[in-house]
């Protein structure tokens, strides 16, 4: 007998950020999160958004354990969330709506794409929820972008799969799950979600700034940006998809300059989710402008050392009371 | 804590048929085979071919265990086989030359393709042997066919990767491993290799028959065929890649009829590797014409019930003598 190696580097580390279409009933979210409490998996962050009726959970750990946790969570979400009665402003196609796998250390994006594909196969096999593969896990060029996969949302996609073969799931289906819809399972690089609020209610300023800084228009490399109006305040909402090409400071400086040219200023920043230690610049202006930023909670490596406690699972068995 | 499922159906069964570029030194082959002796893996068949200087091993079992066994075997082959000194008539690019994963039960070809891709990533990561993906695991249409991947063999491919980006490995490289070359890792359906010998030394008859029965020329569905001259006898060498479309009996009858039209007869058949129970037709003419056919050894399901014993590993440590 030989010594068996482990599939993946023994120090390989991945992150998974499943999004669930429930942001109001905390008990439902807690039950979904609790099934991810597997050995080798850490809970790094979670948030419920009432308006969007959506929750976002960040877990990290060993590849196979994180993969299994994400599969189990998709199953529990399918059991507890009924999209036919779900209302919210965020576009969604499924109970476990989006499941991205992200390489953190000693593992490639390509390997994460394989994990994503296997997870999709399993979600269909175990729970009968069909899946679409996106970004690095996409099996077709027209599914690279998540927005193309989700076009029409649950209600529209449910119809589209019936008469448009090109919209059918990559695995399972062709019909969506009657109540849980479908999941978009993907692999992508680590992403920093960074929003900057301007001291104006004029959304046109935010839109113009966003247009000028985004890579698609010749702006900063690895940067996507949108101009929004959030609670009466103009906001430049940024995704940094390649921190090596553009740091958060680069984005901050660019927004500051472009806004200034239009007579506005950045007054407040916020990070959604986690920031890698390498992207953190302790005494910089952009960090000082961050709203409610606790480095111990929001810096990935520190949170990994001290993860959140898993929620206590809801009463397992009434008869044991 | 939740109950963790298993990735793949608990009854999922796959086969893997790695080919190694060593068919003369039985001790080397034994050492390679012995590292595949993992829990959940059965040894079903193995053969050494002196002329081709090649060995073919058939293992089967649980997906993750078979995958790990194949990875370990590729590592041991890379350690023991030096292609720069290897001579044989069979085309080859690597020490572990071809590693196909085959779905047997409760698992899809697509899942086997993912297993193949992961295995390739691991073979590169652990042993520095680059890999090409073929058939259902192919990442590019020009690599669907194994013959296209292996074009030029070890010596030619070693040069080609230096100046033709299109020939570079799918994972690792771009240079081949100096002594172990590269591995072609793939996924395909179960394949029956069936040869029929004709009572003539005229290879033209075998070629004409092969041409007429192969699917590519409008013959039998799922059938590939070649006409060869083997030790002075015309042979129709057949691969049945889809038993549901064409059974062995269908192939036998077609060859018999086409040969008869040319004044020849099928006198002897042989099976290379295993036959699924469903393809076995006990009292049929084609089974009676099979050379040295023992159903207990050559029928997949029966061999799975009573697999071969693993070879005893070669002395582990001289200093313990």
Give the closest of A5, A114, A125 to B9, CB-based: A125
Mean pLDDT calculated for residue range B100-108: 95
In this prediction, the answer to ipTM > 0.85 reads: no
Task: Give CA–CA dist A171/A184, Å, rounded.
Answer: 11
**Phi/psi at A184 (nearest 5 deg)?**
-95, 115
**Count of CB atoms within 10 A of residue A240's CB?**
26
pLDDT band, very low/low/confident/very high, at A301 (cuts 50, 70, 90): very high
Average pLDDT, rounded, for chain A: 91
Strands (E), A12-129: 13-16, 19-20, 41-49, 54-61, 96-105
**Which residue in chain B has the smallest CA separation from A121?**
B111
Q: Is the per-residue pLDDT at B1 higher than 80?
A: no
Task: Give CA–CA dist A77/A112, Å, rounded.
Answer: 22
Q: Is the per-residue pLDDT at A88 higher than 70?
A: no
- Mutation test of the interface with chain B: which of A43, A66, A77, A125, choosing the one with the most B Cβ atoms within 10 A? A125
Global pTM reads 0.82
Q: Which residues of A touch B117 (CB under 8 A)?
A: 114
**Count of CB atoms within 10 A of residue A67's CB?**
25
B117 part of contact set with chain A, CB < 8 Å: yes
Give the closest of B111, B125, B313 to A9, CB-based: B125
Q: Could you tell me the residue ranges of all domains in chain A?
A: 13-187, 192-305
Percentage of residues of chain B with pLDDT beyond 90: 77
Q: Is the per-residue pLDDT at B3 higher than 60?
A: no
B111 part of contact set with chain A, CB < 8 Å: yes
CB contact under 8 A, A38 and B7: no
- Is beta strand A192-198 parallel, antiparallel or unpaired with respect to B183-187? unpaired
Would you tell me which CATH number, out of the four given (3.40.50.10440, 1.10.10.10, 3.30.990.10, 1.10.3720.10), belongs to the domain B13-187?
3.30.990.10
Quickly tell me which residue has 């089967």 as its tokens. B60
Name A239's Cβ contacts closer than 8 Å, sequence gap at least 6: A191, A192, A193, A194, A223, A224, A225
Mean pLDDT calculated for residue range A218-233: 91
Q: Which helix (H) or strand (E) holds B27?
A: helix B26-34
Q: Considering B52, B90, B177, B306, which one is annotated as catalytic?
A: B90
B108 part of contact set with chain A, CB < 8 Å: yes
Q: Quick: pLDDT tens for B189-248.
A: 999 999 999 999 999 999 999 999 999 999 999 999 999 888 889 999 999 988 889 999
**Which residue in chain A has the smallest CA separation from B41?**
A1
Mean pLDDT calculated for residue range A61-67: 95
Q: Which residues of B touch A72 (CB under 8 A)?
A: 2, 4-5
Q: Is B52 part of the annotated catalytic residue set?
A: no
Task: Give CA–CA dist B124/B170, Å, rounded.
Answer: 10
The whole-number pLDDT of residue A318 equals 41
pLDDT band, very low/low/confident/very high, at A112 (cuts 50, 70, 90): very high
CB contact under 8 A, A72 and B2: yes
Give the closest of B4, B111, B118 to A38, CB-based: B4
A183 part of contact set with chain B, CB < 8 Å: no
CB contact under 8 A, B72 and A2: yes
For residues B92 and B153, is the Cβ–Cβ distance under 8 A?
yes
Least confident of A77-91, A137-151, B169-183: A77-91
Active site residues of A: 90
**Which residue in chain B has the smallest CA separation from A116?**
B114
**Which residue in chain A has the smallest CA separation from B120?**
A111
Quickly tell me which residue has 């200023």 as its tokens. A265
Closest Cα to residue B151, out of B173, B136, B166? B166
Task: Give CA–CA dist B171/B123, Å, rounded.
Answer: 9
Residues 4-33 of A with CB under 8 A from B: 4-5, 7-9
Q: Which residues of B touch A38 (CB under 8 A)?
A: 1-2, 4
Task: Give CA–CA dist B63/B320, Å, rounded.
Answer: 35
For residues A78 and A96, is the Cβ–Cβ distance under 8 A?
yes
Mean pLDDT calculated for residue range A119-127: 96
The whole-number pLDDT of residue A175 equals 96
Q: Which pair of tokens denotes residue A255?
A: 């927004």
A109 part of contact set with chain B, CB < 8 Å: no
Q: What is the three-class DSSP state of B5? A: coil
Taking each continuous run of H as one helix and of E as one strand, the counts in chain B are 10, 11
The whole-number pLDDT of residue B88 equals 63
Give the closest of A34, A111, A122 to B7, CB-based: A122
CATH class in words for A192-305: alpha beta
CB contact under 8 A, A68 and B38: no
Task: Give CA–CA dist B289/B268, Å, rounded.
Answer: 5
Task: Give CA–CA dist A123/A78, Å, rounded.
Answer: 10
**Which residue in chain A has the smallest CA separation from B171?**
A110
Give the closest of B35, B114, B125 to A2, CB-based: B35
What CA–CA distances, in Å, run from B171 to A16, B6, B107, B176?
Answer: 24, 27, 25, 11
The whole-number pLDDT of residue A316 equals 45
Name A173's Cβ contacts closer than 8 Å, sequence gap at least 6: A130, A161, A182
CB contact under 8 A, A117 and B114: yes
């Amino acid at each position: 007998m030989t010594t068996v190696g482990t599939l993946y580097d023994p120090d390989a580390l991945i992150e998974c950020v499943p999004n669930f279409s429930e942001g109001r009933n905390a008990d439902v979210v807690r039950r979904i999160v609790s099934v991810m409490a597997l050995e080798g998996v850490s809970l790094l962050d979670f948030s419920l958004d009432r308006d969007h009726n959506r929750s976002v959970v960040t877990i990290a750990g060993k590849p196979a354990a994180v993969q299994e946790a994400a599969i189990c969570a998709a199953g529990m979400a399918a059991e507890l969330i009924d999209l036919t009665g779900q209302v919210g402003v965020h576009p969604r196609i499924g109970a476990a709506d989006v499941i991205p796998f992200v390489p953190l250390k000693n593992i490639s994006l390509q390997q994460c794409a394989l994990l994503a594909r296997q997870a999709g196969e399993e979600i269909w096999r175990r729970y009968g929820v069909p899946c679409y593969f996106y970004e690095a896990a996409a099996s077709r060029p027209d599914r690279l972008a998540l927005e193309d996969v989700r076009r029409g949302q649950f209600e529209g996609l449910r119809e589209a799969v019936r008469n448009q073969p090109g919209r059918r799931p990559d695995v399972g289906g062709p019909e969506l799950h009657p109540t849980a819809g479908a999941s978009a399972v993907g692999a992508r690089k680590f992403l920093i979600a960074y929003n900057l609020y301007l001291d104006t209610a004029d959304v046109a300023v935010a839109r113009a700034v966003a247009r000028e800084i985004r890579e698609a228009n010749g702006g900063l490399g690895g940067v996507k940006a949108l101009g929004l109006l959030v609670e009466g305040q103009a906001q430049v909402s940024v995704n940094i998809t390649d921190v090596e090409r553009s740091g958060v400071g680069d984005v901050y400086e660019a927004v500051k300059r472009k806004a200034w040219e239009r007579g506005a200023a950045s007054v407040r920043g916020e990070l959604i989710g986690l920031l890698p230690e390498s992207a953190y610049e302790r005494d910089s202006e952009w960090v000082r402008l961050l709203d409610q930023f606790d480095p111990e909670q929001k810096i990935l490596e520190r949170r990994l050392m001290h993860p959140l406690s898993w929620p206590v699972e809801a009463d397992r068995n009434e008869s044991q009371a």
